[in-house]
Chain A
Amino acid sequence: MNGVHLWAVQRITAMFLALAVVVHLVTILVAVRGGLSGAEIIARTSGSLAWFGFYAAFALAAGLHGAIGLRAIGAEWLGWRGRGVDALWLGIGLATAAFGIRAAWGLFSA
């Protein structure tokens, strides 16, 4: 993993996120039309591998994308550089992704 790979991951996740955010917003607009309820959300997502896969990928992409961006800001503005800091950002990125994936799993298995 070096600058080239981080850059590639950030650009690829950006492309996916642009699409995923649109899907997410359209889903919200459609879903709230008949009144929003927990039961209605779970009816859509429970047992749906497609929705689970979509939101798991969304969370992973968002976690990695955000951590790589914050890494650059930390390096430039605060001087946080080095392998230890990189490991910390990787941890933060994966933890962020894990929270999102756990939420997606909760909706899938509900």
Chain B
Amino acid sequence: MTGTAEDTLRVSVWRGNEAGGALAEYRVPARANQTVLDVVTYIQRELDPSLAYRFACRVGMCGSCAMTVNGRARWTCRTHVSKVAQDGALELRPLSNLPVIRDLATDMAPFFDKWSRAKGTFQPKDAPDGAVPAEFAVVPPASRQREAADAGIECIGCGVCYASCDIVAWNQDYLGPAALNRAWTLVNDVRDGAKRERLDAVAGDAGCHACHSTQSCTERCPKQIDPSGAIAGLKRSLFWSILPGFR
């Protein structure tokens, strides 16, 4: 393919698997309003059909297309090339802190396993067996607890925060920002009956106490959620829970 520097993007894509890999170079025509996902799709359809990557909705709803774009974890579907390309160059790698399946596709299982470990499942207070309660719960939307829950409820599990977290890189057992954010929304859900068990599950060196509040998660969350604030909330709740008379 030929083209001038202005109308051609130089794209380096990490190709490989869990055993290792290297960057491969591609030339992709530059277009107006082009997203990074458009670039990846062009490479897979036109240049090398063996490229592995993951996407579904293309509009920022599903959370499956996150990759490392020029060193930063991002949703590729909602990232315009013009915002991130440096001198017409893009470097695409799989998300950090997760096992690579192949090329740009990571194995999200460890990420979601940690949601389970953080007891990220709603446990109805009135119906411990999971049955639908007979009456609707009345939860004022402006109540303090509901506002705290709402602040983190829009997470779609894309893994951008998890890939951006230094603590996850240093401590493989650390639950990570997304799972802890999920736990915090449930701790603040007045209909939930598993607060005690959940706080115990998120305490300690693999839980919220490992967080140093460096806030990369908050900085990079594409939904503008504040997992760092959620983790601070968990630390506060746990602090009061160990004082006699507050538990």
B227 an interface residue at 8 Å Cβ cutoff?
A: no
Contact B239 A76 (CB under 8 A): no
Contact A4 B204 (CB under 8 A): yes
B170 an interface residue at 8 Å Cβ cutoff?
A: yes
Q: A7-B235, A7-B239 are in contact. Are A76 and B167 (CB under 8 A)?
A: yes
B132 an interface residue at 8 Å Cβ cutoff?
A: no
Contact B242 A5 (CB under 8 A): yes
- 7 A-B pairs besides A3-B210, A7-B209, A11-B239 with CB distance below 8 A are A3-B209, A7-B239, A72-B210, A75-B205, A76-B167, A77-B170, A81-B205
A50 an interface residue at 8 Å Cβ cutoff?
A: no
B171 an interface residue at 8 Å Cβ cutoff?
A: yes
Q: How far is the CA of A3 from the CA of B241 in the complex (A)?
A: 13
Contact B205 A4 (CB under 8 A): no
Contact A4 B170 (CB under 8 A): no
Q: How far is the CA of A103 from the CA of B207 in the complex (A)?
A: 38
Interface residues of A (CB under 8 A from B): 2-8, 11, 72, 75-77, 81
Q: How far is the CA of A71 from the CA of B210 in the complex (A)?
A: 11
Q: Mark B207-226, 1 if CB is under 8 A from A, else 0.
A: 10110000000000000000
Chain A CB within 10 A, most for which of B171, B204, B209: B209
Contact B167 A4 (CB under 8 A): no
Q: How far is the CA of A72 from the CA of B210 in the complex (A)?
A: 8
* A–B pairs, 9, beta carbons within 8 Å: A2-B203, A4-B203, A7-B235, A8-B239, A8-B242, A72-B210, A76-B167, A76-B171, A77-B170
Residue of A nearest to B171 (CB): A76
B contact residues around A72 at 8 Å (CB): 210
Q: How far is the CA of A15 from the CA of B171 in the complex (A)?
A: 27
B238 an interface residue at 8 Å Cβ cutoff?
A: yes
Contact A4 B171 (CB under 8 A): no
Partner of A3, one of B167, B170, B204: B204
A contact residues around B238 at 8 Å (CB): 4, 7
Partner of B205, one of A3, A8, A77: A3
Query: B196 → chain A, closest Cβ, in Å?
Result: 13
B contact residues around A4 at 8 Å (CB): 203-204, 209, 238-239, 241-242
Contact B171 A3 (CB under 8 A): no
Residue of B nearest to A76 (CB): B170
A contact residues around B209 at 8 Å (CB): 3-4, 6-7
Q: How far is the CA of A48 from the CA of B206 in the complex (A)?
A: 45
B contact residues around A76 at 8 Å (CB): 167, 170-171
Q: A75-B171, A76-B170 are in contact. Are A3 and B239 (CB under 8 A)?
A: no
Residue of B nearest to A6 (CB): B209
A contact residues around B235 at 8 Å (CB): 7
Contact A3 B242 (CB under 8 A): no
Residue of B nearest to A11 (CB): B239
Q: How far is the CA of A98 from the CA of B177 in the complex (A)?
A: 38
Residue of A nearest to B238 (CB): A4
Q: How far is the CA of A75 from the CA of B210 in the complex (A)?
A: 10
